[in-house]
Chain A
Amino acid sequence: MVAIRAEGLTKRYGSTLALDGLDLAIESGEVYGYLGPNGAGKTTTIRLLLGLHRPTAGRGELFGIDAWRDPVAAHRRVGYVAGEPYLWPALTSTETFVFLEHLHGSTDAAYRELLVERFQLDADKKVRALSKGNRQKVQLVAAFATRADLLVLDEPTSGLDPLMEVAFRQTVLEAKERGQTVFLSSHILSEVEALCDRVGILREGRLVDEGTLAQLRHLNAQTVEITFDGTPPDLGAVPGVRVVHAAGNAVRLEVTGSPQPLLAALAGRPVVTLTSREPSLEEIFLHHYDGSDHGDRG
């Protein structure tokens, strides 16, 4: 069963083309990472799929239901975490849960209690008194506790501290074990890497790449920065190494796969500093998706 299907889904706001002919087919039970920088059209996609905005062209379906035509039927199957935690300030977290659960019908109260513990939420506090991160937790707990068939999460970890991100990952994996479908919009590469079966990459309203993490090998590349005492050697010919930037005594490399060939090439060279880190999404976009519509799967 296909949980999410989009065919030529397009949205134009005035003169801005926010989403351009999106095609998606996400199977039930899949954890799908929807990766893109801010402004790429991730939230627009979610709004169209949930039937909050009307597509300019094309169609989107949740479990075969067009959410614009029949929002109530579509929303019954969805737990949604919005990009901004807009909630009712005068209600406490518990009251918010009770209200949302009442509308959804299907709720696991015991699991909700567990999540309140896990996310260390003071459920009797009014939403007004909560920080943005805590309001985000209220949204998360509410969405996961519904046990909806599909969880649509729009940048769900924004505002969460690292400890809570761990709790979030655990909760997503539990949902996956139960067979729930998860649509995770994010601009954080490591989060998507850790959780998702398949990844779609969105750039300026277009899906520029899609595949499993193994297929998108370049996402696993490491950025290595080295400074030498003197002129850097030519490392462009080393297997798995791409010179991204070279200036003076410093080079920035992108290393795919094992760093062993690079280490061998550096042996005996006057290396002053060497740092290795995960590339930011911005760097990946710059190097792989800049200007072209096809990903360079190197």
Chain B
Amino acid sequence: MIATARRVLWQIRRDRRTIALLLGVPVGLLALLRYVFDSRLAVFQHIGAPMCGLFPFILMFLVTSIAMLRERTSGTLERLMSLPISKPALLGGYAIAFGALAAVQAAIVCTVGFLLLGLNADHGAWLVGLLAIGNALLGMALGLFASAFARTEFQAVQFMPAIVFPQLLLCGLFAPRGAMAAPLQDVAYAFPLTYAFDALSRATHSGPLGGTLVLDVAVVIGATLAALALGAATLRRRTP
């Protein structure tokens, strides 16, 4: 598992653009958001604080879906299947690698967001950071699963608008879910990102955390495990 994690990190380290995407872009976007809402800082707080925990989800989905697609199409997946490594260990290795990247990413974004840009996390920036890592793993698991349905990198990128954007729109980040059309409110509860957003929202607002946070986190973890299980089923040895 450690060997796989190290191999994935070695590969990403070489790819400067991906490093920039993972570590630099979220900070840049957050800073941009701050000055977009220059005269309405309450809105920045409402959107920006949860954003710190959602960036890892979005970017890990993108990076994993493409990285896994490359393994599938370049023949290295068959290579992996011929090695003494089990599927859970392989996926565990990916999870460790992307989890570690997410931790660095979350640390940077949270530091900039909560210390420099004046965002406010009532229950502590560390909680946002932890939730961010969980969301990154959810993004990774979904990306891994999605990569089974793409044949080219272009197709993999198309999953961004198809899988990620609807969840972002419906989760309550841009508009409160209570203000949405009734059917959409129900649909939103079918998406794991809704629960991820609720947890982040609770962590950044005053008020008791309560059992709902635990429930939200449990849903995110459950969705991650389900996506990993589905993803594992797509790592077939029988590549025709």
Give the interface of A toward B (CB within 8 A): 13, 50-54, 68, 71-73, 75-76, 78, 80, 82, 84, 86-91, 95, 99-100, 102-105, 126
A87-B78 contact, Cβ under 8 Å, with A51-B237, A53-B238, A72-B85:
no
Could you pull out 25 A-B pairs where Cβ atoms are within 8 angstroms? A13-B240, A52-B78, A52-B238, A53-B238, A71-B84, A71-B86, A72-B84, A72-B85, A75-B84, A76-B84, A78-B82, A80-B83, A87-B76, A88-B11, A90-B11, A90-B14, A91-B11, A91-B14, A99-B3, A99-B4, A99-B6, A102-B6, A103-B83, A103-B84, A104-B84
Does any Cβ of A come within 8 Å of B41's Cβ? no
Count of B interface residues, CB-CB < 8 Å? 24
User: Is the beta-carbon distance between B79 and A86 smaller than 8 angstroms?
Assistant: yes
| Minimal beta-carbon separation of B129 from chain A (angstroms) | 28
CB-contact partner of A54 in B6, B79, B238, under 8 A: B238
- The residue of chain B having its C-beta at the shortest distance from the C-beta of A128 within the complex is B14
Chain A hits for B189, CB < 8 A: none
Does any Cβ of A come within 8 Å of B75's Cβ? yes
Chain B hits for A53, CB < 8 A: 237-238
User: Is the beta-carbon distance between A86 and B83 smaller than 8 angstroms?
Assistant: no
User: Is the beta-carbon distance between B85 and A52 smaller than 8 angstroms?
Assistant: no
Chain B hits for A78, CB < 8 A: 82
User: Is the beta-carbon distance between A52 and B84 smaller than 8 angstroms?
Assistant: no
Chain B hits for A86, CB < 8 A: 74-76, 78-79
- The residue of chain A having its C-beta at the shortest distance from the C-beta of B240 within the complex is A13
User: Is the beta-carbon distance between B7 and A91 smaller than 8 angstroms?
Assistant: yes
Q: A53-B237, A75-B84, A78-B82 are in contact. List 16 more A-B contacts (CB 8 A).
A: A13-B240, A51-B237, A52-B238, A71-B237, A72-B86, A73-B84, A82-B78, A86-B79, A87-B79, A88-B7, A90-B14, A91-B10, A95-B7, A102-B3, A103-B3, A103-B84
Within 8 A of A (CB), among B1-58: 2-4, 6-7, 10-11, 14-15
The CA of A51 and the CA of B79, in the complex, are separated in Å by 12
Chain B hits for A89, CB < 8 A: 74
Within 8 A of A (CB), among B76-105: 76, 78-79, 81-86
Across the A-B interface, the 7 shortest Cβ-Cβ residue pairs? A86-B75, A102-B3, A75-B84, A76-B84, A90-B11, A90-B14, A99-B7
Chain A hits for B237, CB < 8 A: 51-54, 68, 71
The CA of A95 and the CA of B81, in the complex, are separated in Å by 19
The CA of A126 and the CA of B81, in the complex, are separated in Å by 23
User: Is the beta-carbon distance between A90 and B82 smaller than 8 angstroms?
Assistant: no
Chain A hits for B15, CB < 8 A: 90
A88-B3 contact, Cβ under 8 Å, with A51-B237, A72-B85, A80-B82:
no
The CA of A53 and the CA of B81, in the complex, are separated in Å by 10
Chain A hits for B238, CB < 8 A: 52-54
| Minimal beta-carbon separation of A172 from chain B (angstroms) | 20
User: Is the beta-carbon distance between B85 and A103 smaller than 8 angstroms?
Assistant: yes
Chain A hits for B83, CB < 8 A: 75, 80, 100, 103-104
User: Is the beta-carbon distance between A84 and B75 smaller than 8 angstroms?
Assistant: yes
The CA of A75 and the CA of B84, in the complex, are separated in Å by 5
The CA of A95 and the CA of B12, in the complex, are separated in Å by 13
The CA of A263 and the CA of B82, in the complex, are separated in Å by 53
A52-B3 contact, Cβ under 8 Å, with A87-B76, A88-B11, A91-B10:
no
| Minimal beta-carbon separation of A43 from chain B (angstroms) | 11
The CA of A19 and the CA of B50, in the complex, are separated in Å by 57
| Minimal beta-carbon separation of A153 from chain B (angstroms) | 13
The CA of A53 and the CA of B78, in the complex, are separated in Å by 10
User: Is the beta-carbon distance between A82 and B84 smaller than 8 angstroms?
Assistant: no
